[in-house]
């Protein structure tokens, strides 16, 4: 199956009623993050001007999850592929927890978007972004966290874990797509098909495998790792922080949202109605409006 990662943007525009004036100006970039091993982090760079915004996807996703949001915003921005995801290199230790990812994300930001000011991360990318913001206040002036907080119970991400922890290889593309549709009932089939094309690859024998690496680092499994120390990181970030919460998502509970506001120096919570965990997939135009307001405020 022929795949052109820059050839599907018109589908995003059509599905969400965005004006289409031809292909956007997007390029793929790579940043060296580990000189000893030669490991690189990849990113999509939108526009020619200095990026104003950096977007970081969730676990088992990739930079293309933000395509519709980027099209709607029409601001110069950078979408980073987390290590072990998309077109970024895999780590030899397969450690993909926030503490290991944050230094690489910060390095990529300094190389590609040193003056962006606004950092937005979703799920695993959101937890990673909290650390990046806390450790690099010169890089991050405003923080947006999409549908995640430093959680304290395993059950919140159970449905996500069930999907991500499924088979790594599928006999056919249609089999992979069918499982994706089954686990994402709120999304359109066309949207999920694009997502699979961006997030999987055809192997030489005709089977299909996910592009992301499976985490096996020594920090524990995703369903047992507790992120409580990240509350302290969030509290140490000196700038405004916004939590965008999906109204139908099980990941963020009322108590988590309250704690987010309490911990932040300047914290706010917005509920996106009709959105699940993946707000950028379920309600991308609403998320774009939220980010537009953050860019305007910055």
Question: In 10 A of CB 28, how many CB atoms?
Answer: 14
- The separation between CA 263 and the C-alpha centre of its own chain, rounded to angstroms, equals 23
Cα angle 250-256-258, degrees, rounded to a multiple of 5? 130
Q: Is 93 exposed, middle or buried (0-12, 13-18, 19+ CB in 10 A)?
A: exposed
The DSSP bridge pattern shows strands 200-202 and 208-210 to be antiparallel
Given a contact cutoff of 8 angstroms between Cβ atoms, the answer to whether 143 and 239 are in contact is: yes
Neighbouring residues of 277: CB distance < 8 A, sequence distance ≥ 6: 58, 123, 147, 160, 246, 249, 250, 251
Residue 206: both structure tokens together: 């005709």
Q: Which residues are catalytic?
A: 123, 147, 277
HSE (CB half, 13 Å, CA atoms) of 90? 12
In Å, how far are 12, 81, 153, 270 from 136, measured between CA atoms? 33, 19, 28, 25
């Amino acid at each position: 199956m022929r795949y052109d990662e820059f050839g599907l943007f018109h589908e995003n525009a059509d599905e969400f009623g965005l004006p289409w004036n031809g292909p956007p100006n997007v390029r793929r970039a790579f940043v060296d993050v580990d000189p000893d091993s030669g490991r690189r982090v990849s990113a999509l760079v939108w526009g020619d001007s200095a990026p104003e915004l950096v977007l970081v996807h969730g676990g088992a996703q990739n930079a293309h999850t933000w395509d519709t949001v980027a099209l709607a915003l029409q601001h110069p921005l950078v979408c980073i592929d987390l290590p072990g995801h998309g077109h970024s290199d895999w780590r030899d230790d397969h450690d993909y927890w926030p503490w290991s990812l944050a230094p690489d994300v910060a390095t990529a930001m300094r190389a590609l978007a040193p003056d962006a000011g606004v950092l937005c991360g979703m799920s695993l990318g959101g937890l990673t972004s909290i650390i990046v913001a806390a450790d690099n206040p010169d890089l991050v002036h405003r923080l947006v966290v999409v549908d995640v907080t430093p959680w304290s119970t395993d059950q919140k991400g159970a449905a996500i874990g069930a999907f991500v922890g499924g088979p790594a290889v599928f006999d056919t593309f249609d089999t992979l797509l069918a499982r994706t549709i089954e686990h994402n009932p709120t999304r359109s089939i066309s949207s999920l098909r694009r997502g699979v094309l961006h997030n999987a690859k055809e192997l030489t024998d005709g089977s299909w495998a996910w592009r992301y690496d499976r985490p096996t680092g020594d920090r524990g499994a995703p369903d047992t790792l507790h992120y409580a120390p990240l509350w302290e990181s969030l509290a140490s970030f000196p700038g405004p922080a916004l939590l965008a919460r999906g109204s139908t998502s099980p990941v963020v509970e009322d108590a988590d949202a309250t704690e987010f506001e309490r911990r932040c120096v300047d914290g706010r919570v917005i509920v996106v109605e009709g959105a699940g965990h993946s707000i950028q997939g379920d309600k991308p135009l609403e998320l774009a409006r939220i980010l537009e307001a953050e860019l305007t405020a910055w």
